[in-house]
């Protein structure tokens, strides 16, 4: 379990690094961690077909609404930028390995 948490934290850190300098000044690593955690929780509720057809904008909207319940206020565009930075991180991983 501890390894999974460390993996999520390192993913949040690397996602933070993939954001532009302007966006980094607007958000903390802990907020990115919460965004990625909520995205993961949301993905766990979807069927395979839903995962195939859903787009980043819909995911960002759902994650944003879930974060509001935790008193984390982020714009939909900021959440979308975080999700794209995470995607970029995973694309970089595939080119490395």
Tokens of 39: 């995205």
Identify the pLDDT of residue 92.
86
Identify the pLDDT of residue 1.
46
DSSP 80-94: HHHHHHHHHHHHHHH
Tokens of 63: 């994650």
Identify the band that residue 7 occupies on the pLDDT scale cut at 50, 70 and 90: confident
Residues in the chain: 97
Gap between the Cα atoms of 94 and 28, Å rounded:
26
Give 78-87 pLDDT, tens digit per residue.
999 999 999 9
Gap between the Cα atoms of 65 and 48, Å rounded:
22
pTM for this prediction: 0.85
- C-beta atoms surrounding 46 within 10 Å: 14
For the chain, the structural domain boundaries read 33-85
């Amino acid at each position: 379990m501890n390894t999974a948490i460390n993996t999520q934290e390192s993913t949040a850190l690397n996602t933070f690094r993939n954001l532009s300098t302007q966006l980094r000044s607007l958000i903390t690593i802990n907020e990115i961690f919460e965004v990625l955690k909520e995205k993961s929780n949301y993905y766990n509720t979807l069927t395979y077909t839903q995962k195939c057809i859903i787009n980043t904008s819909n995911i960002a909207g759902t994650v944003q609404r879930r974060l509001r319940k935790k008193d984390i206020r982020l714009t939909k565009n900021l959440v979308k930028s975080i999700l794209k930075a995470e995607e970029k991180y995973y694309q970089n991983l595939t080119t490395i390995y």
